[in-house]
Structure 1
Amino acid sequence: MNIQVQPRSARIAKSLVSRNEEMQWEIFIVSMLKKLELSPENHAKACRRYAQFAHHIAQKLGVDDDDVHVVVQGSMRTQTTIAGDGREKFDLDVVVKLSGPRFERLRDSGPFFEAFGEALEGLEGAGKPEAKNRCWRLPYPNEPFYFDVTPAIPLSQHITGANLRVRDEEQGWSPSNPEEFADWFCTIADKRFIFRRSLNKAAMDSAKVDPIPDQPIGIDDVLRRMVQLMKLHRDSYYKKQSDARRVAKPISVILVTLAAKAYDEMALSGQYVGCSAIEVALELVTRMPAFIQRGREIRVENPAMIGVHGENFAEKWNTDGGVRDQEFQTWHAVLERDLEALFSEEYSKRSENRVHAVFGELGVTAWKSSHGSGILAGLRATAPGLAGTHPAAPRSTGSSNTLA
C-alpha cells in the first residue's frame, strides 16, 4: 500500500493554521524585515546622490551626457536590500553604461577602469573612490549607505552572451547583464499565490538616470521577502564563524538564483497548493539545492546569460577543494533546522534564542517590541487582500558578483 508522506513544509504550515498563528508570524516577519530597509528619508537621500552621477561623470570624461546611462542593479533593483543587523551601511549597486566612439574599440580594461575612477573624484559627499575588482566604491562617510559603481561598455571583440562588458582583474573583461538578470528575477517574484484563506485588510540633466524602485514590498511578496530573510540568516550565522568560513559563505546571487528557480517551479507547475506564505517559503528553501547542477563541475547558471559563453555563479566552487560547496550545504541545513524549530513553537511562547538564530539581534528587538505595542494590528492594515482558493496557475501582478 502506497502511503504518501506529507512534505515537511506542509506539516509545519498546518500546525500553524491549527494554532491560528500563520498571520501572526507573517506580519512579524514583514515588520522585522522592514526595519532593514532604507527609510523614506534615506531613500530620498540615496536618490539625490544617485541622480548626480551621470552629468558629473560625463563632464569629467569629456563625453556627451547622452553617452552616459546610469542604472541601479543588484538588491536595490530587485528590492531585496538589507542592512545587516541594522547598524551596517546599505550596499547600493550602480552600473554606468558608457557608449560612443571613445568606448567602441577598447582592448585593455585597465586604463579604462582607472580613468573612470578618476572621473568619480569630486562627487559631492562621496569621499575617496576605492577600487574593487569590477567596481569603484564610493563610501559616502556621512550617509547610511555607500555605492558600488561599475563602469560598463557595449560588448565587442571576442566576448558574447550579454550586451555589456566590465573590467575584471583576472579575465581583463567579463560579460555582464545586470538589467536582464534583475528582469528575470522580478518577473518571477511578481507572480502570486492565492492561498486557501483570506488576509485581513483595512483600508536633472539630459543624461539618462533610471529611477530607483521604491514600491512597497507587501506581505504576499513571498520571494523577495524570503531572499531578504535568507540573507539576514546567512549574515547572522556567519558572524559567529571563523574568518576562513566567512570568506566561503554563499554569495547573494546564488541564493537569489536558487530561490527564484524554486519559486518559479512551484508557480509554473500549477500543482503546488499552499495554505500560507510561510508554507511557500519553507517549501522554497527545501527545493533550492535541486537547482545546483552537479556533473563534471558544479554550476549555478546565470539564467539571463545562457549559451556557450554563459556565466557560472558557482565558478569558485570548483577551485577551492569543495569548501564553498560544503559551506552552502552546512548553512542550508542550519537554515532549514532553524526555520522548522521557530515555526514549530507557539507564537506566544517563542524563545529569544529561536528568534535570534534566524533573525539576529534586530529580530529579537522586533520580537520584544511586538508584545505590547500593537504592531500586529498596525501592520495587518498594510497586508494586501487575498481571497478565494488556490488556482491552477498563479496570477501575475503588474560579493564579487553584484547582480544580487
Structure 2
Amino acid sequence: MTLTKSASLVLKAEQARPARITESLESFPPKSIAADSAAELLLAYSPWARALNEVNLHITVRPEEIAEAVEAYNEVAHLLVAKLHWPLEAISILPQGSASTKTLIRSPIGNQKFDIDAVCQVDISEIDASDPMGFFQSVGDALGELEAEAKKRCWNIPFPKKPFYLEFTPSVPLATVSAQTPSSIAPRYRAAQRYQATALAVADTPTEQWKTSNPEGITTWVDDTAKRRLIVELSMEAMAIDKRADVAPVPSQEVQIIDTLRVAIRLFKRHRDMCVRRGIIAADVKPISIIIVTLLTSCYEGLADLGRTYNHPVELLDELASLMSHLVLKLEGQYRVDNPTVDGENFAEKWNQDGGARYRAFVAWCNTLSADLKTILALTDPQEISKRAREVFGIPAPTIDDTGLSSIGYRTPPATRPGRGLA
C-alpha cells in the first residue's frame, strides 16, 4: 500500500519519539471499565477534559470582538471602493489564517491586541496585472487614513481603538494573473493541484513580483482534516457545550473539545505564548502559528490515513503533542515544513537563516509542552488537575467577570511589533 505524505511523516515521528508523553494514558481505559461503557469512560477522562476545556473557553475570542472585526472589514472595503473607484462587487474581503480556521486565541496579556488576518481578492479586470507593486501600493495609498503600514506582503492596519489589528493582504485570483503574465510567478511557487481553484497571487515586496498564496486552501485543508473522526464512537453529546451563532464573515471561534485538531492548535499556540512569558523562548524566534497549524494538521491527517483511533480527545491531544516535534523534515541540511497548498514553499525557511535559533526555540517549546502535559496528565485529583492546567496555560484562578470569562492579571510588558500575518 502506498503511504500518503502525512502518513509517512507520522510513521517517521513515531520511530523518532522516545515515548508517549505519559504512560498513564497507555493503560486507559481502566480495566474496571467495561469496553462498551461509554459513560464510565467519559467520566474517567472528565477531570482532564474539563480542565483543558476551561483553558479552551478562556482563550476564545469574545463574540463582540469578532463583531468589531466584521465592522472593520466593511470599513476597509468601502474605503477601497471610494478611493480606487472599484465597484463593490469586484472586491471580496475574507478572513484568513487563525480567524478562518477557528484557531484564533486571546493573548495571555489582558490588554494586548490580537491580529485578524484578511485577504482582499480583486477582480483582475480592475488592475494592471503586469505591475504587482503598483497594485500593492495603490491599496496602501487608499488605506492611508487608517495609518496602514507596509509589510512583506500585507498592510498592517492598527485600529487604535479596537482590540485587534488587521493584517490585510491584497490579492488577485492566480489563474487570471497567470493568463496575462505567465513569467511573473517564481517557478518554485506553484499552486498544488488539489487547491488550484482557490490559489491567489499576492505582491511580494522583496522580489517585486507576484507570489502564489492560498489561504482558502489552508482553511479547506484544516476543515477537511478536522472532520475526520479519530475518536471511537462514544456518547459525545455528553462533552458538548452550548453553541453560539456564527458571525459572518469571520467564523465563530467557539470550538468544542471533540474538535480535537482545532483544540490542539489553540492550546499549543497558547502554551507557546506562555513559554515566551515564562522566558523559556524569545519572542523573536518563537514558532509561528502557520508552522504549528501545518505540523498538527499533517499529524492528524497522517493518523487518520493510518486508521488510528483513540478512546477520548485527551488521548489524541497527548498523541499529537508527543509526535509534533518529530514531524519537521531536514533534507540536505535544511529544515522543512512544507506548505500543502503551494508546491515549493517552506514555512520554516527562516529556520535555515538564523544559525538554528528558531529550531532550537521550537524544540525547547515542544519539550516544555511535553513536560507540562505530563505533569497535568499524571495528576488524579480534579482540583489539582484544574489548578495545574491554569498555571501552565496562564489562566487565573476562577474570578469570573460579567462576560463569563476570567480576565488575566499579568503586568503588561513593553509593546511588541505585530506579526506578519502568518506569525
What TM-score results when the alignment is normalised by the length of structure 1? 0.79
In structure 1, what is the Cα distance between the partners aligned to 2:130 and 2:419? 23
In structure 2, what is the Cα distance between the partners aligned to 1:149 and 1:6? 42
Post-superposition shift, 1:17? Answer: 5.1
The residue that corresponds to 2:154 in the other structure is: 135
Out of 260, 269, 282, the position equivalent to 2:318 is 282
**Structure 1 residue identity aligned to 2:20:** R
Matched, 1:365 2:389: no
Long gaps (5+) in structure 2: 1-16, 31-40, 192-198, 242-246, 406-417
The residue that corresponds to 2:225 in the other structure is: 188
* More deviation, 39-48/320-329: 39-48
The residue that corresponds to 2:190 in the other structure is: 161
Say whether the 8 Å CA contact 1:182–1:403 is kept in structure 2: no
Deviation string 1:222-250 (CA, Å, 9 cap, x unpaired) is 010110001100001012328x8321111
Matched, 1:150 2:169: yes
Mapping of residues 189-208 of structure 1, within 5 Å: 189-195=226-232, 197-199=234-236, 200=238
The residue that corresponds to 2:124 in the other structure is: 100
In structure 1, what is the Cα distance between the partners aligned to 2:331 and 2:151? 32
Post-superposition shift, 1:41? Answer: 2.3
Mapping of residues 36-115 of structure 1, within 5 Å: 36-85=59-108, 87=110, 88-109=112-133, 111-115=134-138
The residue that corresponds to 2:414 in the other structure is: none
Say whether the 8 Å CA contact 2:104–2:253 is kept in structure 1: no
In structure 2, what is the Cα distance between the partners aligned to 1:251 and 1:42? 23
The residue that corresponds to 2:9 in the other structure is: none
Matched, 1:350 2:374: no
Quote the sequence identity (%): 32
Mapping of residues 8-23 of structure 1, within 5 Å: 8=20, 11-13=23-25, 18=30, 21-23=44-46
Deviation string 1:228-277 (CA, Å, 9 cap, x unpaired) is 001100001012328x832111111001000011111112211x232211
Mapping of residues 253-402 of structure 1, within 5 Å: 253-270=290-307, 272-296=308-332, 297-306=334-343, 310-348=344-382, 350=384, 354-355=388-389, 358-360=392-394, 362=395, 364-366=396-398, 402=421
Deviation string 1:100-131 (CA, Å, 9 cap, x unpaired) is 3342433352x432321121244xxxx42222
Post-superposition shift, 1:201? Answer: 6.0
In structure 2, what is the Cα distance between the partners aligned to 1:300 and 1:359? 26
In structure 2, what is the Cα distance between the partners aligned to 1:226 and 1:316? 24
Say whether the 8 Å CA contact 2:52–2:389 is kept in structure 1: no
The residue that corresponds to 2:206 in the other structure is: 170
In structure 2, what is the Cα distance between the partners aligned to 1:290 and 1:6? 10
**Structure 2 residue identity aligned to 1:185:** V
**Structure 2 residue identity aligned to 1:252:** S
SS of 1:298's equivalent in the other structure is strand
The residue that corresponds to 1:35 in the other structure is: 58
Say whether the 8 Å CA contact 1:226–1:281 is kept in structure 2: yes
Matched, 1:211 2:249: yes
* More deviation, 99-108/65-74: 99-108
In structure 2, what is the Cα distance between the partners aligned to 1:169 and 1:240? 35
Out of 272, 276, 292, the position equivalent to 1:238 is 276
In structure 2, what is the Cα distance between the partners aligned to 1:286 and 1:182? 24
The residue that corresponds to 1:221 in the other structure is: 259
Long gaps (5+) in structure 1: 204-208, 376-398
In structure 2, what is the Cα distance between the partners aligned to 1:285 and 1:68? 40
The residue that corresponds to 1:390 in the other structure is: none
**Structure 1 residue identity aligned to 2:59:** L
CA 1:89–1:358 in 2, change beyond 3 Å: closer, same or farther?
Answer: same
In structure 2, what is the Cα distance between the partners aligned to 1:303 and 1:327? 24
What TM-score results when the alignment is normalised by the length of structure 2? 0.75
* More deviation, 13-22/181-190: 13-22
Count of residue correspondences: 355
Say whether the 8 Å CA contact 2:200–2:213 is kept in structure 1: yes
